[in-house]
Amino acid sequence: MSLKHTSFYLFLFSLLTFQMAIAFEEEKNLVVRLNMDDQLVPIYVAETHSEMSHLEAAYVKKLTSILQFDLNHNGMTYVCSSEKKWNALTKNPLQFTEEQWQNLPFQGIIKLFLNQQYLSGEIALKDSHAIKRFEGLALSGNLNDDRKVMHQIADTLYKALFHQPGIATSRVLYTVKTPDRSTQEKKWISEIWEADYDGYNPRKLTTHKTVGYCVTPSYIPAKPGFSSGSMIYTSYKNGQPKIYVAQVNEGIGRRLNYVRGNQLMPTVSPQRDQIAFICDVGGNPDLFIQPFSIEKGAEGKPRQIFSCGQSVQGTPTFSPDGKKLAFASNKDGSPRVYILDIPKENVLLKDIKPKLITKYSRESTAPSWSPDGTKIAYSSLTQGTRQIWVYDLRKQEEKQITFGSGHKENPSWSPNSKMLIYNCTDSQSNCLYLVGLQNSKPTKVGASEGEKHYPSWGG
């Protein structure tokens, strides 16, 4: 099957029809405005003291802006505006009276000191009246390297406040689609890239000549406390789309299995013991799972776990406990998102009944299950434009996260389940954006050329 035809399965759920938009216009009143999470925590970033440093003031300002960006894009905090009275209060080493603590309008303060090329700092926490100090962080003067230091500081503050790992040091996989300049024909190539979560320090992981046209990359979940070093993706290297597993630092993958038919949209369970994917070996794109290990790859035979007539299934995503799957299907006419319990081997396909969760829109695709297990993000046609929505599993309610022009697709959760990254297509570009559940103003990340698709957020 050609790339043109198999792409139909990848993008079927993204097809927009004005007829459907009009037919279901009356369902607007079903949208729910809800507050899913706690309010953002205010943080004050004091002026950086750099009198003892050889680094230029403009460079120090860039470092501070990186820290501020991290604190504004973790889904839990925001940076308060700078005021003279607070700068005066934080001029000396942080130390407050009980009255001063009570009058502080923010929950945390961070203050940085530069001595030559070494960075130290203080973090003050209002609730506990604690002051934490760190020192001896070496700066190189290279902004790409020093960004990592600032990300580490942001995560240090995050952990001090919330007793959980931050996301500033996390990474993102995505594909970049560009014209194939090696031929006179009008062809495209799609390669896998990785970058810091904020889009900086991008690096290409695969090359078209050795790996082929790649789509839907995702990290293979790492062991707790570690970063993922491997990924899974689909490649059209040999014509038909097949699934590959690769080390992130190597890029060149090995075939997952040798099942016949087109294989698409792979995802690995958080326990790293099974993979879900779409395959049309039986003539229709249906949902399969297969035992998996990081050492051996696919184990045993794949098992079909859902099929329904001539319907098309797509974009599976595991629940954190690995016992359920959310996926898109047009079994009831137009694509919607469903949840099913992964059935035991002796269960008949006709007895498997997935639960519908997207009821506001009849055009919903690309579900992504949050790491904390409480929410599912997806892309949904909303008044003619694809927007990012979130379904709250506890309240059984849907919330629209993005607004405005440009079709937003392929949402992926941050490790702390507070932020989303997605790709947005408008008349001029196809870029990646960050958005928080409590701050619906998206932020564009990454500036390299090419059309960016299929972001996958990793630890």
Mean pLDDT by 10 residues, the chain (459 residues): 43 34 31 50 90 89 97 96 76 72 86 91 86 89 96 95 96 95 85 97 91 95 82 94 93 88 96 96 93 87 92 97 97 94 88 92 94 98 96 96 96 98 88 91 88 94
Nearest by Cα to 130 from 106, 158, 161: 161
Long-range CB contact pairs, 394-403, < 8 A, 24+: 395/34, 396/357, 397/32, 397/34, 398/30, 398/31, 398/32, 398/358, 398/359, 398/360, 399/32, 399/33, 399/34, 399/36, 399/437, 400/31, 401/377, 401/435, 401/437, 401/440, 402/435, 402/440, 402/442, 403/440
- 171 membership: H or E segment, kind and range: strand 171-179
Beta-carbon neighbour count of residue 17 at 10 Å?
Answer: 12
In this prediction, residue 92 carries a pLDDT of 66
Please tell me the total number of residues recorded for the chain in this structure. 459
At 105 the pLDDT is 87
Half-sphere exposure of 151 (CA within 13 A, CB side): 18
pTM over the 0.95 mark: no
Q: CB-based burial of residue 93 (10 Å sphere; 0-12 exposed, 13-18 middle, 19+ buried)?
A: exposed
Would you put residue 373 in left (φ > 0), alpha (ψ -120 to 50) or beta? left
Contact between residue 266 and residue 316 where contact means Cβ atoms under 8 Å apart: no
Give the strand pairing for 108-115 and 41-45: parallel
Element (H, E) at 179: strand 171-179
* Cα–Cα–Cα angle for 53, 54, 57, rounded to 5 degrees: 80
Domains within the chain, CATH numbers bracketed: 39-160 (3.40.50.10070), 169-456 (2.120.10.30)
How big, in percent rounded to 5, are the helix, strand and coil portions of the chain?
Answer: 15, 40, 45
The three-state secondary structure class of 120 is: strand
Helix (H) or strand (E) run with residue 275 in it? strand 274-279
pLDDT of residue 353: 92
Q: Nearest-CA neighbor of 256 among 223, 231, 225, 287?
A: 231
Structure tokens at 338: 């469903």
Q: Output the pLDDT for position 118.
A: 92
Distance between CA 96 and CA 102 in Å, rounded?
A: 10
Q: How far is C-alpha 251 from the geometric centre of its chain's CA atoms?
A: 20
Q: Give the model's pLDDT for residue 10.
A: 45
Q: Ramachandran region of residue 71, left (φ > 0), alpha (ψ -120 to 50) or beta?
A: alpha
Token duo for residue 189: 């190539």
